Structure 1
């Protein structure tokens, strides 16, 4: 009996599966929330919460982003980025098993956002330093530090300097795990061939060429860089509005408890669904992350999609006593390391030409973010233990 060769059977799929899934999600969300709050109160709370978030939180984050963006641009303009690159690039190989020029990707994404790594990766001179399997790892590397300066500055503005710095250390540890796990997967898939012949440019010359600077006097360069960086901060602030108003409104409704006097349609009323899930997971969350209240689970869940929206939860959590210093450190670490990667990873890997590795990158980065939060928690515990002796 002869076997048929070259005939591929089409996989049967359910017609309009996406439509069915979308309708199911809508019915479950609005059906559950509406049954608890009442339809009129539900829509009123959605609108009031979105409005409050826009006025009280989005503009604060935008202000932080403007100042952070201005500082980041000044750091590039006057050589601080190049100096840091020269100092820390030699550590990239032993820590991340990546070329020294990869540090340039870390600092540019830290000062801006995840996709900044793509502009570097599209430069032939820059990519020539990487082996074939190392190129997709740039996605995880850059994402782990995306919006790092904004997240750190925002947490410091809440009065948690030490915890924000600990969170940065946690994010760094999580990034190491994410990049090395990703590299192990890409070696199996792509091999270790060099992309192209090594460029004649040295690492320092490459950094000089990739970072644009303005011409003119010191004052002119300062003013130009300051305004350009501030404008970038405004763009970041505007770009987070949809995530904050949509994602964060939904998360808050699912997180906060009903008011004592009953639902009235005011802002920040909720059905407390996520805390119930958090209570089920508390045997895991408490020892690993040190969360004292189950509502804290809302931050990492939100950070998966948009770290700007996750930051919008912090002030309200602090006001209600849901979180403290430990949670700020964990939030900083996980917020930086994940930094909304579910909404950017696909497009970033597609731009790098490695769409088939999306699932591997996501799995690696989920583990990296969890390690970041766990590391931050135990560093806080250790630092408190040490300070107890003094």
Structure 2
């Protein structure tokens, strides 16, 4: 009965959505718009994002190879305990996820030597901590590549503040539900294993390689990981972004539907306009279309980034919006689609709802900080 009920609900939603779109745009125009939008996103957005992923992946691997990540980790270590209530070694997770994506924190957490520094409540909060920095370098470079500099940097600060809120709130929820986790060590967690090569052996092995080979291997391996990230964002961009764009954009200049790419029914802006005073006060949004970015970032930050070029072309965003987009894009970075898998990998699936609630609040705080930070920057 449950399966039948869920199937009926699914059919009602799908049929209702396409009936609404087909009635507004015309069935033929709707199908043409969906296909052409997805095709244009693949050619002009996904491959551009993949190129950024490859380059940033190569740089990130080069940083790992020559000790830049270790240096950053040592510099950031003093901030971990007072700001995040995490041991200093957690800074390595922030750097790794910033250079790559959210799952990098899972690779680290599954190593026994890394997890031995944590109590259980701290260990569980790594899901929120690492997610807030996921794809950070890619997001910032993408925004800068679109002609903005101050906005992305202010947004990065906002994401940092949102991470503090999300991580601390998650720790509070965990301790409230399981007070014993304050004293239990994370090494008692399921799934831990000693996967990393000991540092001394790794250094001895690397010293045997020539400088040229180390650079070449780092660049190629990092670029290959960038390709993997680029391929991984394709479903999110094509599915989520296409749907959001069809619900965000309107007909052509003459008010007609022609089946061209990036046409739609403007449902989301219409809904946002009903409560636009809230978004204007909290985030400084000056156009109801801007709400599409945070909605998309809930599922995939790569898909959210694909909205930006068209928003810029339409004149819908400014420097403040870029700052808010960077903050909320980094902090959320598709957490609805990753938190369940990440906590399941750590062995704490039952805490998923608490992690999602904490990160929702953290992302909103990140956007608010970015907005008021940009307002202060504008006054200066």
Q: Name the TM tier (shorter chain).
A: over 0.9
2:226 maps to 1:233? yes
| Alpha carbons 1:120, 1:210 under 8 Å: kept | no
- List gaps (5 residues or longer) in structure 1: 1-12, 199-204
Aligned to 1:6: none
Q: Quickly say closer, same or farther: Cα 1:37–1:95, change in 2 above 3 A.
A: same
2:117 maps to 1:129? yes
Deviations 1:43-96, CA, capped at 9 Å, x for gaps: 010000011111111111111111111111111110000001111112100011
Partners of 1:92 and 1:14 lie apart in 2 by 46
Partners of 1:113 and 1:357 lie apart in 2 by 21
> Which residue, 45, 58, 75 being the options, matches 1:87?
75
Q: Quickly say closer, same or farther: Cα 1:365–1:256, change in 2 above 3 A.
A: same
Per-residue deviation, 1:194: 3.2
> Which residue, 216, 241, 249 being the options, matches 2:242?
249
Partners of 1:258 and 1:211 lie apart in 2 by 59
Partners of 1:379 and 1:245 lie apart in 2 by 33
> Which residue, 299, 308, 314 being the options, matches 1:314?
308
Aligned to 2:63: 75
Deviations 1:111-166, CA, capped at 9 Å, x for gaps: 11101111111111111111111111000000000111111111110111111111
Aligned to 2:193: none
Aligned to 2:317: 323
* More off after superposition, 223-232 vs 207-216: 207-216
2:352 maps to 1:358? yes
> Which residue, 335, 343, 347 being the options, matches 2:341?
347
| Alpha carbons 1:66, 1:234 under 8 Å: kept | yes
Matched position secondary structure for 1:263 = coil
2:55 maps to 1:61? no
| Alpha carbons 1:258, 1:269 under 8 Å: kept | yes
With normalisation by structure 2, the TM-score equals: 0.93
Matched position secondary structure for 2:306 = helix
Deviations 1:287-309, CA, capped at 9 Å, x for gaps: 11011100000000000001000
Per-residue deviation, 1:209: 7.3
Partners of 2:186 and 2:133 lie apart in 1 by 27
2:146 maps to 1:146? no
2:326 maps to 1:336? no
Partners of 1:280 and 1:297 lie apart in 2 by 12
Matched position secondary structure for 1:382 = helix
Structure 1 segments of 4+ aligned residues over 6 angstroms from their partners: 209-213
2:212 maps to 1:219? yes
Partners of 1:138 and 1:383 lie apart in 2 by 31
2:283 maps to 1:289? yes
With normalisation by structure 1, the TM-score equals: 0.91
Deviations 1:363-386, CA, capped at 9 Å, x for gaps: 000000000111100000001112
Q: Quickly say closer, same or farther: Cα 1:79–1:207, change in 2 above 3 A.
A: farther
